[in-house]
Chain A
Amino acid sequence: MQNKYYLLAIIFLFIFSTLSFAQLGEEAGQPFINVSVGSSATFNYLILNSGSNSIAYQIILPTLNNIPKNTTPTVLVTPMNGTLAPHSQQLISIAVQMPSSDKPYLKWQGILQVIEISAQQNSTSGMGAVIREGVAKIVTIESLPPLPLPFYVYIIIAIIVVIVIAVIIYLIRRRRKAKLEALKKSRKAATIKVKKSASKKKQIKKVAKETTRKKTKKRTVTKKTKVTQKQSQKKTRKR
């Protein structure tokens, strides 16, 4: 009799366990994410619960390989944990940020894991291993050349360059003009000086001439006077 009840209990337990279960799954497709250096990109996929019980889960971020002289891209995943309700889906978003200092056409790879957090940790006596379930994505990231700037940025840059060149040319021209003016002024001053000195020279010459003429006159007068004196002396002597 007791065996019958025991068997019945096992049967019910079996039926119940098959009716009540949780099953973690994921949408197919391995992420291959191309990211331009200095920018970011996103990949989305679904995780699912096809069972009638909730599933608590947590995300383990991928550990990417290291490439010398390049910075490993940053991987952000949302959400990082949660609970999947029965017969439900959850969107997992993988965002990759590529450093601007990295070279293009490099590849990184790592495994993104969604692990079921089991409330029941089966304790075993002796040597016991607890088995965790999960789903995983092999994430491959490739760097691409930097994105071209939007065309309007090029226009703005061109305008700025034109303005800068125009300002430089303007400044150069102004400087030249100022130099020219200064030169003109100095030339003018020099001309006046020359004129002045020329007129001074003239004056000096005039004065010199005058002086010479006076001297000459004086000599002449003196000579005449001498001659006259001599003549008068002669006359006197003759008398």
Chain B
Amino acid sequence: MIMDKKRLNKFNILITLVLIGALALFIFAVKINYSTSTGTVTASVSVGNVIYLSVSPNTINFGNLDTLTSYNTNMLVTDTDNGGNIAANLLVEGSNWVYYSNTINVGNTLWNPTSLSSYSGTALTNTFTTTNIIIPQPTLTSSITSNNIYFGVNVPGGTPPGNYIQTLTFENENVTQSLYNSVSTSYQVTAYANVIGTCYIALAPVSINFGSVFASANVPTNMLVTDTDNGGNVAASLLIYGGNWISGSINFGVSNTLWNPTKLGAYSGNALTNSPVDTGIIVPQPTQSAPSANNLIYFGLGVPGGTPGGSYTQTITIENSC
């Protein structure tokens, strides 16, 4: 038994040695097949030219604007190329400003490469304009490049009040490469402007000379004053009042002056008072096509009997109320 065991152990050892030898041979053979002999592998890849475009902010707000007031060309939008590899020229176009059926022409928005302290620059159009604002070529060390463009806006006289919206669209282009931005995270900016209602007043003439009038005489109600609203956008009511006629320490009553919406051939109409009254005369709402609107008021004078001679003056106040 002991002898068998010994034999068995020897046999096992022999088998193990044979297996190890076979494995070594196998590894050696494989290694020969994958030779470590040196050589050259050439790798190549073609990197294309690419322009990226991202604009910020996505919205700009010009706030409350009245007609005839401009927003200076200093509203900033930044055009960024994040990861492209060639320079590009910024292109921009815009839509008309719209509030329901009311519009403001796109050309009332101006753009400029630098911030300005006035309303000036180049008018926006509804087709792409090459601004020559260059977004520099991104590089390995500076993979994000950008440039700025500034906007200003004007509200034409007679523009109806409301919250207007305009869409600005951007493109980046490299003419040499005939390439436009390929991937955009954002390329449109929405502009907002709230046009408030306003009314203006401009009177002509600013004085009336009734001439020489005798006591107990009168002047027909045909002295004209024109009340004009240049550029407002809402209708206005005309209010009026006056003071007494004064010459030194002498005076006679305000009510001796009459007013009327239409020209009269006689001394007749409504007596002027010393506190404001609504005449019922409306200065119409100006419009974009007719930004100046007006209405008329006529005056007449009766000098009371016994009024001492002299130069008398009265102050008449005309107000527009909207």
Contact = CB atoms under 8 A, between A and B. Distances in A.
Genuine A/B complex? yes
Interface of A: 21, 23-30, 46, 48, 50, 63, 87, 89, 111, 113, 115, 118, 120, 122-138
Among all A-B residue pairs, the 5 with the closest Cβ atoms: A28-B197, A122-B207, A25-B200, A127-B210, A134-B319
B234 A135 contact: no
A29 B232 CA distance: 13
Interface of B is mostly: strand
A111 B276 contact: yes
B54 interface: no
26 contacts: A23-B231, A25-B201, A26-B320, A28-B198, A28-B234, A48-B66, A48-B68, A48-B69, A50-B231, A89-B66, A126-B211, A128-B207, A128-B313, A130-B315, A131-B203, A131-B208, A131-B225, A131-B316, A133-B201, A133-B206, A133-B317, A134-B201, A134-B317, A134-B319, A135-B201, A135-B319
Nearest to A24: B201
Contact of A46 (B66, B70, B275, B313): B66
A134 B303 contact: no
A48 B313 contact: no
Contacts of B322: 26, 28-29, 135
Contacts of A134: 201, 317-320
Contacts of B137: none
Interface in B210-255: 210-213, 219, 225, 229-232, 234, 239, 242, 245
A31 to B, nearest CB: 11
Interface of B: 66-70, 161, 196-203, 205-213, 219, 225, 229-232, 234, 239, 242, 245, 257, 275-276, 299, 301, 303, 311-322
Contact of A127 (B203, B209, B232): B209
A32 to B, nearest CB: 14
A88 B286 CA distance: 20
Contact of B198 (A27, A128, A138): A27
A125 B202 contact: no
Contact of A135 (B196, B245, B312, B320): B320
A48 B233 CA distance: 13
Given A26-B198, A118-B206, 19 more contacts: A23-B231, A25-B198, A27-B198, A29-B197, A48-B68, A111-B239, A115-B317, A126-B211, A126-B213, A127-B311, A129-B257, A129-B313, A129-B315, A130-B206, A130-B207, A132-B316, A133-B202, A133-B319, A134-B320
Interface of A is mostly: strand
B40 to A, nearest CB: 75
B123 to A, nearest CB: 20
B199 A25 contact: yes
B208 A128 contact: yes
B141 to A, nearest CB: 48
Most A-side CB within 10 Å, residue of B68, B314, B317: B317
A104 to B, nearest CB: 28
Given A126-B210, A129-B315, A136-B320, A23 B66 contact: no
A23 B234 contact: no
B66 A27 contact: yes
A130 B316 contact: yes
A28 to B, nearest CB: 3
Contact of B316 (A23, A27, A30, A129): A129
A29 B69 CA distance: 19
Contacts of A131: 203, 205-208, 225, 316-318
A137 B320 CA distance: 9
Contacts of B213: 126-127
Contacts of B66: 25, 27, 46, 48, 89
Given A48-B69, A89-B66, A134-B317, A129 B210 contact: yes
Nearest to A47: B198
B301 A127 contact: yes
Nearest to B211: A126
Nearest to B157: A50
A28 B203 contact: no
Contacts of A125: 209, 311
A136 B321 contact: yes
B69 A130 contact: no
B278 to A, nearest CB: 8
Contact of B230 (A23, A124, A133): A23
